[in-house]
Amino acid sequence: MSDVKSRIDALVEELNEHNYRYNVLDNPVISDFEFDKKLEDLNKLEEENPQYKRQDSPTQRVGAEPLKSFSQVTHRIPMLSLDNSYSKEEIVDFDKRIKKIVGDDVEYVVEPKIDGLSVVLQYENGMFTKGATRGNGIVGENITQNLKTINTIPLLIPEKSPLDIRGEVYIPKKRFIELNKMQEQMGGVIFANPRNAAAGSLRQLDSKITATRPLNIFIFNIQYSENTSFQSHSQGFKYLKKQGFKTADHQICASVQDIVSACEHWEEKRGELSYDIDGLVVKVNNLEQRKLLGEKAKSPRWAISYKFKAEEAETTVKDIMVQVGRTGAVTPRAVLEPVRVAGSLVSYATLHNEDFVQEKDIKIGDHVVIHKAGDVIPEIVRVIKDKRTGNEVQFQMPAECPSCGRETVRIEDEAVLRCINKECPAQNLRGLIHFVSRDAMNIDGLGGALIEKLVDEGLVQDIADLYYLKEEQLSPLEGMGDKSAQNLISAISESKNNDLSRLIFGLGIKLVGSKAAKLLANRFKTMDDFINAAYDEMIAIDEIGEKMTLSVLEFVKEERNLQLIEKLKEAGVNMTSVEKEVVTKEAFEGKTFVLTGTLQNYSRNEAKEIIENLGGKVSSSVSKKTDYVLAGEEAGSKLEKAMKLGVEVISEEDFEKMNA
């Protein structure tokens, strides 16, 4: 064998291995620079000796000439679609339908429904020979040249018998933002979302352009195979992984309850994934059972998608108002034409501050896309500028506080505008609402509207006044009555016994959150010691920084604040801390867990709850920062990654010992 040929062979194999380590395993062993250097060497050798150029050479990932058009491909096996479901009840019905046909012994695999483009890849003799779009499910377009640019698609696999697999091409969220930034700099098209960007990139006739786009792929189905070594979908995943493919994340669910928990979990946590998903896909695991269930014209009976509620919607900005917060921050808020997003009716969106409004160029009357994830406050993602009529009105932050009329100021280094009037009625109202809130004094039955009424009626001016209220003052109020008045008075009275930490938090001292309040109460034990504490004593507390210390000192320097505390004391409000153990270190304090595989004794949600109750966090992906990977049965890629990164892997038994 010629020396040159063996050098080329060795380089191709070495570079393909590095490519796999870097892109699929996320675990490179050489630097990008070394990789590029070797690729350059290979390129040179191939140019000088074209007879030894291999089809699976990494230099073959970008096609030579742009295509005139895409040719058509008839799929060997139709590329089916999925039936959609939108509720837990529909999942329960799906499970019943399945069990009626195959009996009660069914295991499911749940996967993310990746929001990208479905493609099929064909391998013959181990070589990637053809790749196509789904098209109408029967005939698609030949986009082989473009798919070859995706580094997570191996050009050569160990399997030599014919293999067709299906997956979803997507662009990771972070890479999408980078891509749009680059497009903006170069004056290219700005893509609306990662899916559109992936679609646009795959439809390029010039694969050199496709090669510059951060495309990636997850494989989730074996369409055609002559290999009979796997009897289940999850075994199929293992086989695909061995072939060098990047497979979709998946989880085995033994019961419909587990599926429902997975749906609830991911509907809330979808934002934590590095790629967009629009739901989950539930599939019967056993391939014999799949055969028995069969397929309908367009979709299999053995799978269903659970679609999440859309998180984005279009609406118009009817007005922009400003709100004054507890600490005087004047923040703009968009009043929207009410629209349903992620299951709730949204009428407002936060605009954060003046810079945000300017950056997004939001005007009154604009058509906008809003985004709402889980319980998070809705946000405006972008303005649909094409829909502007010219009648939109520019918004300006007010020079005066809308509540007290005093001049607003922008403090250096701060993005927000502030009203610095300590007697501002809006700030006072917000402060009262904060005082009674759940993490502060937790006074049941005292909401924002009622507090506003108490202030309007002149019954309450400051937080201490709440403790001087009388039943006969409350019962005549509209919608109150004797019983409610009595209940409210006793709830207020009960709150006098709260721990000092709640009171400190309730005072609304700038930068002092509920955790800091606990630390302070724990350290000083009495209100007197707290208000008399010196700088050095306070800053010595772990987790209490300089800014917070200065803010506390400023608060206790003010006569009106001290008077307020005195008035609370006179009303009989507890001024001592008894909850000694509140901030003692918990078993999992500061530890990050990743859950993978099926646990025997807990659902994922239950395990998560235990971890969080003991001060830990659960994350969806394994990184060097992960402390433990809790691995159940059939643990998948996360377990592999944990082992590669040297992250501690624990069994369910270990976990039980740790939280006992």
Footprint of ligand IVH on this chain (CB under 6 A)? 80-82, 111, 113-114, 118, 134, 168, 220-221, 248, 281, 300, 303, 305
What is the separation of C-alpha 633 from the centre of its chain, rounded to a whole number of angstroms? Answer: 26
Whether the CB-CB separation of 628 and 653 falls below 8 Å is answered with no
485 to 445, 475, 492: CA distances (angstroms) = 10, 5, 11
Question: Could you give the CA distance from residue 4 to residue 10 in angstroms, rounded to a whole number?
Answer: 10
Question: Could you give the CA distance from residue 542 to residue 544 in angstroms, rounded to a whole number?
Answer: 6
CB-nearer residue toward ligand IVH: 80 or 419: 80
Helix, strand, coil proportions of the chain in percent (round to 5)? 40, 20, 40
Whether the CB-CB separation of 287 and 296 falls below 8 Å is answered with no
Q: Which residues pair with 344 in a beta bridge?
A: 341
Count of CB atoms within 10 A of residue 110's CB?
22
Question: Could you give the CA distance from residue 471 to residue 468 in angstroms, rounded to a whole number?
Answer: 10
CB-nearer residue toward ligand IVH: 155 or 219: 219
Count of CB atoms within 10 A of residue 162's CB?
15
Question: Could you give the CA distance from residue 494 to residue 351 in angstroms, rounded to a whole number?
Answer: 38
Whether the CB-CB separation of 407 and 374 falls below 8 Å is answered with no
Q: How far is the CB of 83 from ligand IVH (least distance, A)?
A: 9
Does the annotation mark 113 as catalytic? yes
Question: What are the structure tokens assigned to 468, written together?
Answer: 């001087």
CB-nearer residue toward ligand IVH: 220 or 435: 220
Residue of minimal CB distance from ligand IVH? 118
Beta strand 216-225 with 163-170: parallel, antiparallel or unpaired? antiparallel
Question: Could you give the CA distance from residue 299 to residue 308 in angstroms, rounded to a whole number?
Answer: 19
Nearest to 231, CA basis, from 281, 163, 282, 284: 284
Whether the CB-CB separation of 348 and 318 falls below 8 Å is answered with no
Whether the CB-CB separation of 304 and 97 falls below 8 Å is answered with no
Q: Which residues contact 310 (CB under 8 A, 6 or more apart)?
A: 341, 342
Beta strand 163-170 with 117-124: parallel, antiparallel or unpaired? antiparallel
Question: Could you give the CA distance from residue 105 to residue 288 in angstroms, rounded to a whole number?
Answer: 12
Q: How far is the CB of 207 from ligand IVH (least distance, A)?
A: 22
Q: What residue has token string 């033994």?
A: 254
CB-nearer residue toward ligand IVH: 278 or 640: 278
Question: What are the structure tokens assigned to 386, written together?
Answer: 């094409």
Question: Could you give the CA distance from residue 246 to residue 216 in angstroms, rounded to a whole number?
Answer: 9
Nearest to 615, CA basis, from 592, 580, 588: 588
Alpha helical stretches, state H, 323-469: 354-360, 425-436, 448-456
127 to 124, 162, 219, 238: CA distances (angstroms) = 5, 9, 17, 20
Q: How far is the CB of 114 from ligand IVH (least distance, A)?
A: 4
Find the catalytic residue in 113, 148, 246, 518.
Answer: 113
Q: Is residue 34 classed as helix, strand or coil in its secondary structure?
A: helix
Question: What are the structure tokens assigned to 480, written together?
Answer: 């109150």
Q: How far is the CB of 159 from ligand IVH (least distance, A)?
A: 20
Calculate Rg over the CA atoms of the chain.
31
Residues catalogued as catalytic:
113
